[in-house]
């Protein structure tokens, strides 16, 4: 519905009811029209004044800016003439010691808010009825919400967007961590197996017939493995509200050297491939290589599983998952690399280990079911489970605290939000640069 900024008041010049007691109606109409014309001219001149006023204010602001700019240029000119003949070298120390140039310019925010409404539109707005005073009822509510917000909430969309952005940043952080773990693990596994040299010969051959005929290689694989995923690239705006993937991929990769649980290597492809184009090939190949390597050591390593679990349980208690990961990773190497993921099914039980307990909701129930046929003493497992649950509870409380902190930040967070978007972009750039590295290395 287009809103007119300035409406000239008597819209129809002649449409006015005539009083009954008039003889010469035609003259009456003429006079009435002339009077309305004068009123129209009046409102026109008022709006013209308003218009020119706005333009004048803007032009005045620009004039001030131009003046300051001119002064700065003059000062710079003087400075440059002073410096030039004497000093031309810049010591290397200065370059490294100084912090990088950071622009001070502030970006415009809050452009379309109530105070920035132009005056005529504000007047139009004021002629409307105000919303009903529902806030008088909010004292009777049990939850602490404004009653008026149910009727009309101007900040609704902003809050929605803010939450979405926060969620996106969290997702990105998690994905980054997983990606790093995968990379580390892949690097570890790769050192075990000499990787075959992959050349770009395939690509050149495909291109030789003409660049138009190049069919991207990954299409087939994607259609099979990833039917539901919309895009290959992660776009921060279309947030894949894809819940953190189940235990398989992220937790099992670091525990590739550790006793891994029931989750077989098959599910790994779907979770990481939502965001990353290339990784799906490497991880499964990484997995294929991992079972063959550890099995030879299985027999000697059987007594060891109970040993790693307790240190792992202690590791999982420490709240932030990333530190616990390296700790857990440090624990197993001293004992010989313990038994592997798939092959020995009876060895199913052990620890969900370091996986961020937020993923472990699904994990404990399947764990319980696999515990029945377990060999290891049930005591260690129940301790583990309780420890995991406590860890999970601990993390919930922390999340609440974080949320409270964020609420206290307030809504001048628009700047912080735009920074978060920048972080997202940089994260996606980092990820894409990592992907490019993968492309190059493969």
Number of other residues whose CB lies within 10 A of the CB of residue 97: 8
- Count residues binding another protein (CB under 8 A): 41
Q: Would you say 309 and 347 are in contact if contact means Cβ atoms under 8 Å apart? A: no
CB closer to another protein, 65 vs 217: 65
Two tokens, residue 335: 């004992």
Is residue 47 a contact point for another protein (CB under 8 A)?
yes
Question: Rounded to the nearest whole angstrom, what is the least distance from the CB of residue 88 to another protein in the complex?
Answer: 9
DSSP structure class, residue 270: H
Is residue 8 a contact point for another protein (CB under 8 A)?
yes
Question: Rounded to the nearest whole angstrom, what is the least distance from the CB of residue 128 to another protein in the complex?
Answer: 24
Residues 69-88: x/- map of binding to another protein (CB under 8 A)?
Answer: x--xx--x--xx--x--xx-
Number of other residues whose CB lies within 10 A of the CB of residue 8: 14
Is residue 4 a contact point for another protein (CB under 8 A)?
no
Is residue 26 a contact point for another protein (CB under 8 A)?
yes
Q: What residues from 104 to 123 belong to the interface with another protein (CB under 8 A)?
A: 104-105
Question: Rounded to the nearest whole angstrom, what is the least distance from the CB of residue 21 to another protein in the complex?
Answer: 18
Q: Would you say 271 and 248 are in contact if contact means Cβ atoms under 8 Å apart? A: yes
Question: Rounded to the nearest whole angstrom, what is the least distance from the CB of residue 44 to another protein in the complex?
Answer: 6
The tally of CA atoms less than 13 A away on the side-chain side of residue 35 is 9
Is residue 28 a contact point for another protein (CB under 8 A)?
no
3-state class of 170 per DSSP?
helix
CB closer to another protein, 80 vs 209: 80
Q: What residues from 297 to 336 belong to the interface with another protein (CB under 8 A)?
A: none
Nearest Cα neighbor of 258 from 341, 180, 314 is: 341
Phi/psi of residue 135, nearest 5 degrees: -70, -15
Say which residues have a Cβ less than 8 Å from residue 213's Cβ, sequence separation at least 6. 206
Question: Rounded to the nearest whole angstrom, what is the least distance from the CB of residue 62 to another protein in the complex?
Answer: 6
Is residue 51 a contact point for another protein (CB under 8 A)?
yes
Question: Rounded to the nearest whole angstrom, what is the least distance from the CB of residue 82 to another protein in the complex?
Answer: 8
How would you label 21-57 residue by residue, b for 16+ Cβ within 10 Å and e otherwise? Answer: eeeeeeeebeebbeebeeeeeeeeeebeebeeeeeee
Two tokens, residue 353: 């280990």
Out of 20, 21, 91, 191, point to the residue binding another protein (CB under 8 A).
91
**What distance in Å separates the CA atoms of residue 85 and residue 75, rounded to the nearest whole number?**
17
Residues 208-247: x/- map of binding to another protein (CB under 8 A)?
Answer: ----------------------------------------
Question: What ranges in 277-340 are assigned the alpha helix state H?
Answer: 282-289, 295-301, 309-317, 321-330
Question: Rounded to the nearest whole angstrom, what is the least distance from the CB of residue 402 to another protein in the complex?
Answer: 36
**What distance in Å separates the CA atoms of residue 292 and residue 148, rounded to the nearest whole number?**
64
Out of 96, 103, 191, 408, point to the residue binding another protein (CB under 8 A).
103
3-state class of 7 per DSSP?
coil
Question: Tokens 């939000």, residue?
Answer: 417
**What distance in Å separates the CA atoms of residue 367 and residue 346, rounded to the nearest whole number?**
13
Is residue 67 a contact point for another protein (CB under 8 A)?
no
CB closer to another protein, 92 vs 372: 92
Question: Rounded to the nearest whole angstrom, what is the least distance from the CB of residue 425 to another protein in the complex?
Answer: 20
Contact positions vs another protein (CB under 8 A) = 8, 13-14, 24, 26-27, 29-30, 33-34, 37, 40-41, 44, 47-48, 51, 55, 58-59, 62, 65-66, 69, 72-73, 76, 79-80, 83, 86-87, 89-91, 94, 98, 101, 103-105
């Amino acid at each position: 519905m287009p809103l007119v900024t300035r409406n000239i008041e008597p819209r129809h010049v002649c449409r006015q009811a005539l009083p009954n007691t008039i003889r010469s109606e035609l003259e009456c109409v003429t006079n009435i029209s002339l009077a309305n014309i004068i009123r129209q001219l009046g409102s026109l001149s008022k709006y013209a004044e308003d218009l020119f006023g706005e333009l004048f204010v803007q032009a005045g602001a620009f004039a001030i800016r131009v003046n300051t700019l001119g002064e700065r240029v003059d000062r710079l000119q003087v400075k440059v003439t002073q410096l030039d003949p004497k000093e031309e070298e810049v010591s290397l120390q200065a370059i490294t010691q100084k912090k990088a140039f950071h622009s001070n310019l502030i970006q415009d925010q809050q452009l379309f808010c109530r105070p920035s409404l132009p005056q005529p539109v504000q007047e139009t707005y004021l002629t409307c009825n105000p919303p009903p005073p529902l806030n008088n009822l909010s004292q009777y509510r049990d939850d602490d919400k404004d009653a008026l917000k149910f009727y009309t909430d101007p900040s609704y969309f902003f809050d929605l967007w803010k939450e979405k952005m926060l969620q996106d940043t969290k997702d990105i952080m998690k994905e980054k961590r997983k990606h790093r773990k995968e990379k580390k693990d892949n690097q570890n596994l790769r050192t075990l197996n000499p990787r075959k040299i992959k050349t770009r010969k395939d690509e050149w051959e495909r291109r030789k017939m003409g660049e138009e005929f190049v069919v991207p290689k990954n299409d087939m694989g994607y259609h099979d493995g990833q039917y539901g995923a919309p895009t290959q690239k992660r776009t921060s705006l279309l947030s894949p509200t894809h819940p953190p993937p189940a235990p398989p991929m992220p937790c099992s990769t670091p525990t590739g050297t550790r006793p891994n649980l029931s989750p077989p290597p098959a599910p790994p492809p779907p979770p990481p491939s939502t965001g990353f184009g290339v990784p799906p090939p490497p991880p499964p190949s990484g997995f294929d290589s991992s079972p063959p390597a550890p099995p030879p050591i299985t027999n000697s390593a059987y007594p060891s599983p109970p040993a790693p679990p307790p240190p792992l349980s202690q590791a999982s208690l420490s709240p932030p998952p990333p530190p616990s990961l390296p700790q857990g990773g440090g624990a197993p190497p001293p004992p010989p690399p313990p038994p592997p993921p798939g092959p020995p099914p009876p060895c199913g039980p052990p620890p969900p280990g370091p996986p961020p307990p937020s993923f472990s909701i699904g994990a404990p129930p399947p764990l319980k079911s696999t515990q029945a046929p377990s060999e290891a003493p049930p005591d260690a497992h129940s301790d583990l489970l309780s420890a995991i649950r406590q860890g999970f509870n601990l993390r919930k409380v922390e999340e609440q605290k974080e949320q409270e902190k964020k609420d206290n930040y307030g809504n001048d967070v628009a700047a912080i939000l735009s920074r978060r978007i920048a972080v997202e972009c940089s994260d996606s750039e980092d990820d894409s640069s990592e992907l490019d590295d993968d492309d190059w290395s493969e």
